[in-house]
């Protein structure tokens, strides 16, 4: 029963979902800008003018898209693939978390290996050496050729 309900939740018509997404976005922006004045004394435009009117328009388009979506109930959202987003985004977050502390020498292979998990057909004997060689190339290119101030391995080398 619950399984059935869960599947039905994903099978919302695509454009209806898209419209609702826009309305939520617009509503959030509208509520977050309540303290910004749209106009100031003498009819002069204020800091809230553009964000607030854009939020209004966005909400309007959201409703339009949702309404059009009601006519097209057959176009559903394509299946949610979770593997790609989890590992690719996970690798980016892992890189961000480790670049300052561990440096590129470690953050590089971490990013490559974590993101590589997004593909089921990855071969361990291939991707591990590849991650190391690629990191070495990146260190050479960014650290030495382009002289970007990226930490290399602060814990080991001190820079």
Task: Return the residues of window 62-121 that contact another protein according to CB under 8 A.
Answer: 62, 64-65, 68, 77-78, 80-81, 83-85, 88-89, 91-93, 95-97, 99-100, 104, 107-108, 111-113, 115-116, 118-119, 121
Please state the closest distance from residue 17 (CB atom) to another protein, in A. Answer: 6
Contact with another protein (CB under 8 A): which of 11, 70, 71, 126? Answer: 126
Q: Identify which of residues 85 and 156 has a Cβ nearer to another protein in the complex.
A: 85
Under rule CB under 8 A, residue 128 binds another protein: no
Please state, in angstroms and rounded to a whole number, the distance separating the CA atoms of residues 55 and 62. 10
Here the tokens at position 115 are 């993101």
Q: Which of 65, 57, 135 is nearest to 102 (CA)?
A: 135
Q: Cα-flanking dihedrals φ and ψ of residue 112, to 5°?
A: -65, -50
Q: Identify which of residues 1 and 43 has a Cβ nearer to another protein in the complex.
A: 43
Please state the closest distance from residue 1 (CB atom) to another protein, in A. Answer: 26
Please state the closest distance from residue 7 (CB atom) to another protein, in A. Answer: 16
Q: Cα-flanking dihedrals φ and ψ of residue 40, to 5°?
A: -115, 180
Binding map of another protein across residues 11-50, x = CB under 8 A, - = no contact: ---xx-xx--xx--x---x--xx--x--x--xxxxxxxxx
Please state, in angstroms and rounded to a whole number, the distance separating the CA atoms of residues 48 and 15. 30
How many CB atoms lie under 10 A from the CB of residue 146? 9
Round to the nearest angstrom and report the end-to-end CA distance of the chain. Answer: 57
Q: Which residues contact 106 (CB under 8 A, 6 or more apart)?
A: 98, 153
Please state the closest distance from residue 6 (CB atom) to another protein, in A. Answer: 17
Q: Identify which of residues 1 and 78 has a Cβ nearer to another protein in the complex.
A: 78
């Amino acid at each position: 029963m619950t399984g059935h309900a869960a599947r039905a939740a994903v099978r919302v018509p695509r454009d209806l979902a898209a419209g609702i997404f826009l309305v939520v976005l617009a509503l959030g922006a509208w509520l977050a800008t309540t303290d910004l004045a749209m106009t100031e004394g003498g009819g002069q435009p204020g800091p809230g003018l553009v964000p607030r009117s854009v939020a209004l328009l966005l909400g309007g388009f959201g409703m339009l898209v949702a309404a059009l979506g009601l006519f097209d109930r057959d176009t559903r959202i394509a299946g949610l693939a979770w593997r790609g987003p989890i590992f690719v985004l996970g690798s980016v977050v892992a890189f961000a978390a480790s670049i300052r502390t561990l440096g590129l020498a470690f953050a590089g292979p971490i990013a490559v290996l974590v993101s590589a998990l997004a593909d089921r057909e990855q071969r361990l004997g291939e991707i591990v050496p590849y991650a190391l060689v690629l990191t070495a190339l990146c260190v050479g290119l960014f650290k030495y050729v382009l002289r970007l101030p990226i930490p290399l391995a602060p814990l080991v080398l001190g820079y």
